[in-house]
Amino acid sequence: MKLSFLIYTYFPYGGQQRDFLRILKECLSRGHEVTVYTRQWEGEMPEGIKLVIVPVKASSRIKLYRKFTEWLRDALEKAEDSLLVGFNKMPLLDVYFAADPCFAEKAEAQRGFYYRFTPRFKHFKSYEEAVFGSSGKTEVMLLSPQQRKNFVKHYPGCESRLHDVPPGIDEDRRVEKRDPEIRAELREEFAIADDELLILQIGSGFRVKGVDRSLRAIATLDKKLQGKCRYLLIGQDKSARFEKLARKLKISERVTILPGRDDIPRFLAGADLLLHPAYMESAGYVLLEATIAGLPVLTTATCGYAFHIEQAESGQVCSEPFQQDELNAKLAEMLVKIHAAPWSTNGLEYGKNEELYSLPQYAANLIEELAKEKENLKEQGLP
């Protein structure tokens, strides 16, 4: 089959990008022809794809995305017909993989009334409408029940086009037990004593991931407990704002920030707690990756995969609406109980569920099914 994958930017460390690559590789392994349209590609490039760098530039993100869409529309009219699989919301798509949360819900919950009159709101709302609106035909893969609830709320009538997909955790993240040697090596590398508590946070896009919330929570710990803690943040983003906040909160000596990297399992093995108080997130793969590695998790209910933490009983989830005081209290409680509570054991047991690793296969099956339907309609002369 001929498939076209559309994504604004590919880089190796985002959850959206990792899902994109897993599904891409699965489709390639089945012998399909895949063309990728993107503005920028960083990192590994699988053999067998045709990569098209969309040559557009603009002074703002909104103008850039519009130019991207216009260029694609012209290019696709000249190209051989294929199934269009998008990983960002935009017009033209046959299939959308919902890596992002519902924009309309985010705007309603996190922005003031006048935001809806801004060019930014109008652009992203119209692109979301193109996918989920009542006149749309795009089939959608969803990552969490939270997404389904929000999209149905804002776009009634889209229900029949929504498909729930399982998580796509890499098999190499599954472990039978925590490895004390890996823990010791990591701690030696970063000069973290064995009796210190390592709080880990992972994710690109520090503002959305709630790094400010994490720093404020650590700053409220009593001095004795805080003195035993180290906070390690790994991700692809500008860190200056958060380094400044750490200094203001007088915890900068407790904080280390590293760029995105490929050896995340080492950090999951060496840490004592994963802290992930994101403002809003469609899924949050790191929650599951930590859980199946036996690392206790503290997160927020606005993360799509927070329900896995509750099901696994592998940590705690802050309620919605978010209250900083609740996060502060839960962090202190978990750090005190971290080695006595069953969170780690529960997470390792939850990792035995095979469905947690099946997203690429499920997504590829659905893409094949939809491609056949599109071909059948074309043969019948139907739109």
Rounded Cα gap, residues 122 and 115, in angstroms:
9
CATH code 3.40.50.2000 region(s) in the chain: 2-166+358-379, 171-353
**How confident is the model at residue 12, as a pLDDT?**
86
d(CA 331, CA 195) in angstroms, rounded, equals 17
**Above 80 in pLDDT, residue 166?**
yes
Q: Give dist(CA 27, CA 24) in Å, integer.
A: 5
3-class state of residue 345 by DSSP: helix
Tokens of 71: 């260029």
pLDDT of 335 reads 98
Mean pLDDT of all residues in 81-89? 96
Query: What confidence score (pLDDT) does residue 138 get?
Result: 97
State the residue for tokens 């919301």. Answer: 89
* Rounded Cα–Cα distance for residues 35 and 28 (Å): 10
Global pTM value: 0.85
pLDDT at 109: 87
Going 70 to 72 to 74 to 77, the CA torsion angle's sign is negative
Pairing of strands 2-6, 33-38: parallel
- With beta carbons less than 8 A apart as the criterion, state whether 291 and 312 touch: yes
Question: What angle separates helix 359-379 from helix 15-29, to the nearest 10 degrees?
Answer: 60
Residue linked to tokens 């590609």: 41
- Mean of the per-residue pLDDT values for the chain? 95
Give the model's pLDDT for residue 257.
97
Whole-number Å distance between alpha carbons of 256 and 238: 14
Those residues whose C-beta lies under 8 Å from the C-beta of residue 194, and which sit 6 or more positions away, are 184, 187
Run of H or E including 164: strand 162-164
Sequence-separated (6 or more) residues with CB below 8 Å from residue 323: none
> Is the per-residue pLDDT at 87 higher than 80?
yes
pLDDT of residue 381 exceeding 90: no
pLDDT in tens, 108-140: 988 899 999 999 999 999 999 999 999 999 999
**pLDDT classification of 375: cutoffs 50, 70, 90:** confident
Which structure tokens are listed for 310? 């509750």
**Tens-place pLDDT, residues 51-76:** 999 999 999 999 999 999 999 999 99
- Pairs from 23-32 (Cβ < 8 Å, separation ≥ 24): 23/85, 23/97, 23/168, 23/359, 23/360, 23/363, 23/364, 23/367, 24/49, 25/360, 26/360, 26/361, 26/363, 26/364, 27/3, 27/364, 27/367, 30/364, 30/368, 32/1, 32/2, 32/3, 32/368
Question: CA nearest 204: which of 13, 11, 12?
Answer: 13
In sequence order, the β-bridge partners of residue 4 are: 35, 84
Residue 172's pLDDT is 79
pLDDT over 80 (residue 157): yes
- Considering the four listed CATH numbers 2.40.100.20, 3.40.190.10, 3.40.50.2000, 3.40.50.920, the one that applies to the domain covering 171-353 is 3.40.50.2000
Lowest mean pLDDT among 20-24, 140-144, 278-282: 278-282
CATH tag for 2-166+358-379 (out of 2.60.40.10, 3.40.50.2000, 3.40.50.720, 3.40.50.2300)? 3.40.50.2000
Alpha carbon distance 370, 377 (integer Å): 11
Q: What is the pLDDT of residues 332-350, one digit of tens each?
A: 999 999 999 999 999 999 9
Percent of the chain at pLDDT > 90 equals 89
Q: Residue 383: is its pLDDT beyond 70?
A: no
Structure-token match 């349209």, residue found? 37
Q: Letter for the amino acid at 323?
A: Q
Model confidence at 49, in pLDDT bands (50, 70, 90)? very high
pLDDT tier for residue 85 given thresholds of 50, 70 and 90: very high
- The number of helices, as runs of H, and strands, as runs of E, in the chain is 15, 15
What is the residue-wise DSSP string for 96-147? EE--S--HHHHHHHHS-GGGGGSHHHHHHHHHHHHHHSTT---EEEES-HHH
- b/e per residue 335-351 (b: at least 16 CB within 10 A): beeeeebebbebbbbbb
pLDDT-based confidence at 374, cuts 50/70/90?
confident
pLDDT band at 378 (very low <50, low <70, confident <90, very high): confident
Q: What is the pLDDT of residues 304-333, one digit of tens each?
A: 999 999 999 999 999 999 999 999 999 999
CA pair distance 21, 27, nearest whole angstrom: 10
Q: Is the pLDDT of residue 156 over 90?
A: yes
pLDDT at 168: 87
Residue 170: per-residue pLDDT: 84
d(C-alpha 357, C-alpha 166), whole Å? 8
